[in-house]
Amino acid sequence: MPVKKIAHKTGFDVVVIGGGSAGLSAAFAARQEGASVAIVSSDKLGGECPNYACVPTKSMLAAAVRYDDIRRNGGRFGIDVKRLTFNLSAMMERKDAVVNAMTGNRRLEKILESEKVTIFRGAASFIDDESIRVGTHIISAKSFVIATGSVSKIPPIAGIDSIEYWTPREATSITELPESIGILGSGPIGCEFATFFSLLGIPVIVFDIAERFLPREDAETAALAAKTLMHRGVAFHGATRVLGVAKSGRQIRVTYQTKSEPRKTVRVEKLLVASGRAPNVESLNLENAGVKRNATGGITIDAAMRIKGQSLFLAGDVSGLPAYTHTAHHEGTIAGKNAAFLAQGKKKYASVDLSVVPRVTFVAPELASVGAMPDELVAKKKSFTVWKFPVGALGRAVIESERIGLLKVFVEKKSNLILGASMLGDRSGEVIHELALAMSAGITIDAVQSMIHAYPTMSEAIPGLIPS
């Protein structure tokens, strides 16, 4: 059945739906190609990461890490820590100031206006494949970029609707600390919040259906990260299903089962749901634009970020590709360029390249990775060697009194090219980029190690690597 059209429409070359990392990048990229552009946002410009997720979480963690570092190591550096305390209100005020510095005072609006991008406020819904409704506005475009991000995925647990649980958004807006907290999910979000609360002395219980912390990471470095968390009092229940939750006075009763063991119950004051996110598309009425879902419920796109045969592009979390802010920027740029090309009748298209994507989980110390992990390499029948270095042996680690850490690099036997790397340690999020650059440029491990590295730095772990 053909999609119904609306006659006598005026509008833009490109309309971007969503004002987050992907949407902003798409709008700027389309403007750089000379297209007329509008952006539609139902929330604060900047999206989830700077306003509610990455930036506030890392700001909170920065405060908690500093407090814990001084508490543990202050005496070694000649600092009197006998009366050391922390002020949660001041921590959260600083977090708000950091967020405001990035997205407040109409900063992003002013940048968009300077680029001559028209801003519409409100929720968008498709009327057909050429037009959307936003409040009282009907906006048409020659092509659209959908960059509406994702929403917290709430698991179907008995009683979940009867309690007041936190999502990560609520957890970054707390005014007081709970006496105890349960966290559903041991991925990056769950582990980062477990780090924050445990650093401030709050008992934490983490539940996950996965066998281990950070299941997508290298097992050895993830286990070392888990060890540091458990040393701070984080309890982890892996291979566990949460069967039900219920209010119990001021607490929440959590019933769970680990493998085939008997059911158990534990009580916590607060429950944080960090068990994943889902594409935010349900209110868009995509069926009106002729969009069909694939077998898994997602939307199939090509390397140009385009839905096949349509003038619709996806970018960011909504695309189903790896969900990181840095990949969202890249995808948005590609989608915006291509949407402009299509609107202008050009035949050329840019392609997304996610072959080398570094990532960082901000536990303490940081865990950073790039490329394929051993499980994936084994599954692909790759022939590789594992190179290791204990970063606690570095001069910089001794100077900083941060001796926990391990660098692992996975090297193809035949070519000596780097296939992936994982590092737990102070500043690992910075060190990993040297290995990512080597992967992107096709530089062998020998060539990377032969470069002179400054002393004393954490990057010296790279020339120190040896095959295990």
CATH label of the domain that carries residue 255: 3.50.50.60
Buried b (16+ CB within 10 A) or exposed e, 194-216: bbbbbbbebbbbbbbeeeebbee
* Residues 79/72, Cβ–Cβ less than 8 Å: no
Are residues 268 and 282 located together in one domain of the fold?
no
Cα dist from 85 to 57, 64, 98, 177, 199, whole Å: 20, 11, 22, 14, 12
> Which domain covers residue 247, as residue numbers?
160-275
The C-alpha atoms of residue 233 and residue 227 are separated, in whole angstroms, by 10
Determine, yes or no, domain membership for 422.
yes
Distances in Å between the Cα of 330 and the Cα atoms of 18, 316, 322, 411 are: 15, 8, 11, 27
In a domain? residue 418: yes
Three-state DSSP class for residue 39: strand
Residue that terminates a domain, selected from 313, 343, 373: 343
CB-CB contact of 388 with 408 (8 Å): yes
For residue 383, give the CATH number of its domain. Answer: 3.30.390.30
In whole angstroms, give the CA distance from residue 15 to residue 146: 9
Return per-residue pLDDT of the chain as tens, 468 residues. 445 444 435 699 999 999 999 999 999 999 999 999 999 999 999 999 999 999 999 999 999 999 999 999 999 999 998 889 999 999 999 999 999 999 998 999 999 999 999 999 999 999 999 999 999 999 999 999 999 999 999 999 999 999 999 999 999 999 999 999 999 999 999 999 999 999 999 999 999 999 999 999 999 999 999 999 999 999 999 999 999 999 999 999 999 999 999 999 999 999 999 999 999 998 999 999 999 988 777 899 999 999 999 999 999 999 999 999 999 999 999 999 999 999 999 989 999 999 999 999 999 999 999 999 999 999 999 999 999 999 999 999 999 999 999 999 999 999 999 999 999 999 999 999 999 999 999 999 999 999 999 999 999 999 999 999
Reported pTM: 0.94
Q: Is residue 20 part of a domain?
A: yes
Residues 125 and 167 in one domain: no
**Strand 37-41 relative to strand 118-121, pairing:** parallel
Distance (Å, whole) CA 359 – CA 356: 10
Tell me how many domains the chain contains.
3
pLDDT of 10 reads 67
Question: Are both 421 and 453 inside the same structural domain?
Answer: yes
pLDDT score, position 9: 54
330 and 322 Cβ atoms separated by less than 8 Å: no
**Is residue 459 a part of any domain in this protein?**
yes
335 Cβ contact list (under 8 Å, min separation 6) = 22, 26, 29, 145, 147, 304, 305, 306, 313, 314, 315
15 & 107 share domain: yes
Does 143 lie in the same domain as 15?
A: yes
Is there a single domain that holds both residue 189 and residue 133?
no
Per-residue model confidence (pLDDT) at position 306: 97
Last residue of a domain, one of 221, 245, 275: 275
Give the per-residue pLDDT at 175: 96
Q: Are residues 165 and 19 in the same domain?
A: no
